[in-house]
Amino acid sequence: MQIADRPPPPNGVAESSTQVLISRTGWPILPETRRTRGATSAPGPPPPTTWAVVRTVCAMSLDGVLQKVLEAVPFQLTTDGGPEEARRRFAELPRTPMHPEVTAQDRTIDGPDGPIAVRVYRPPSQRSVLPAVIYIHGGGWSVGDLDTYDEVARLHAAGAEAVVVSVDYRLAPEHPFPAAVDDVWAATQWVARHADQFGADPDRVAVAGDSAGGNLAAVMAQLARDAGLGLRFQLLWYPSTTFDTSLPSFIENAAAPILTLAACKGFSRWYVGDTDLSAPPPTLVPARGDLTGLPPAYIAVAGHDPLRDDGTRYAELLTEAGTPVELHNADSLVHGYVAYAGVVPAATEATVRGVSALRAALA
């Protein structure tokens, strides 16, 4: 989720053209971007012609089934009332139990500022050793915990046939940046070094996260590369990566269901705290980091989400850096659509696509 608008692209960024391709399965494939001479690789919003094409592809009305669900159970992520009230509203949302066949065990691991709670999920499998997925929940770095994301973690365990380790990191604003990064990094290192303790393969480890958790998953991919941990894959659900609210989707979807532009900025202020934003570190804004040598990525965005073009921009930057990326836009859905899997068919389909990519990468 974003906090500050960014100035227009520097003069060195030239015009580009983009072609959006559709695979045989009907999934959008990340477009190739062709730049004219004089172009630079400096981070910034894509040129206008690129975004015009993206907007054309994304122009679809809200899914009808989802619309009815949102009318029956209205919900908006907001900082109104403070952090405790925001957490209460989120915790009271009705949730559909999923995959009771997946076992779960609560554990604690050593963290930089005391114990960190994790929950280890294991799906039924004939294999004794499974790949591992570190799951990092969303919620604007401020709401959410192991219980509110229990169903989502189970879905990933069952769908990817992998051991999933869900991390209960410290939340803002009581624990602003970089507390969440420090906790999740400690958990990532623990999984990589102790995978054999819970029947997982240390050579087949991936990170996955949604929204703020997608931000943290992208950061983990960069930290793991630098530490030589060799993650296999990164699954980023509608992530926050650029902190650039000048991207078109923040204007188009400023009053979107579930997540508004005002909420993006409010949660980001809680998380950023006193951090100097004149030159934010890549552990806060992963789009500013070195994007070479990272594990392949699947980035999922939604048409009716302020963060849509943020995830698309990160996919473009990864591609320019040589990192394989699959970008999927669920153009009739909203931010947080994984939570509607099993209830809204379009959300189920989009979720299955991402989890299937995860499973294939860890096979």
* Per-residue model confidence as pLDDT tens digits over 96-111: 899 999 999 999 999 9
pLDDT number for residue 29 = 29
Candidate list 16, 142, 166, 211, residue with the active-site label: 211
Q: Which two tokens stand for residue 11?
A: 């003069």
- For the residues of 150-189, what is the DSSP string, one character each? HHHHHHHHHHHTSEEEEEE---TTTS-TTHHHHHHHHHHH
CB 80 within 8 A of CB 87: no
pLDDT number for residue 59 = 55
Which numeric CATH code is attached to 63-362? Answer: 3.40.50.1820
Q: Cα–chain-centroid distance for residue 308?
A: 11
For residues 327 and 353, give the distance between their C-alpha atoms in angstroms, rounded to a whole number: 11
Candidate list 99, 137, 156, 335, residue with the active-site label: 335
- Residue written as tokens 């974003």? 2
pLDDT number for residue 187 = 98
Q: Which two tokens stand for residue 159?
A: 């769908």
Residues composing the chain: 363
Clarify whether 211 is annotated catalytic.
Answer: yes
pLDDT number for residue 60 = 85
For residues 207 and 327, give the distance between their C-alpha atoms in angstroms, rounded to a whole number: 16
Low-confidence ranges of the chain (pLDDT < 50): 1-58
Clarify whether 305 is annotated catalytic.
Answer: yes
Candidate list 168, 183, 244, 305, residue with the active-site label: 305
Domain chopping of the chain, boundaries: 63-362
pLDDT number for residue 18 = 27
297 forms bridges with which residues in the sheet?
Answer: 234, 325
For residues 351 and 105, give the distance between their C-alpha atoms in angstroms, rounded to a whole number: 24
The pTM of this model reads 0.85
For residues 327 and 268, give the distance between their C-alpha atoms in angstroms, rounded to a whole number: 24
What is the helix (H) or strand (E) element at residue 87, kind and residue range? Answer: helix 83-91
For residues 57 and 11, give the distance between their C-alpha atoms in angstroms, rounded to a whole number: 27
Clarify whether 335 is annotated catalytic.
Answer: yes
Residue 248, SS3 per DSSP = helix
CB 245 within 8 A of CB 254: no
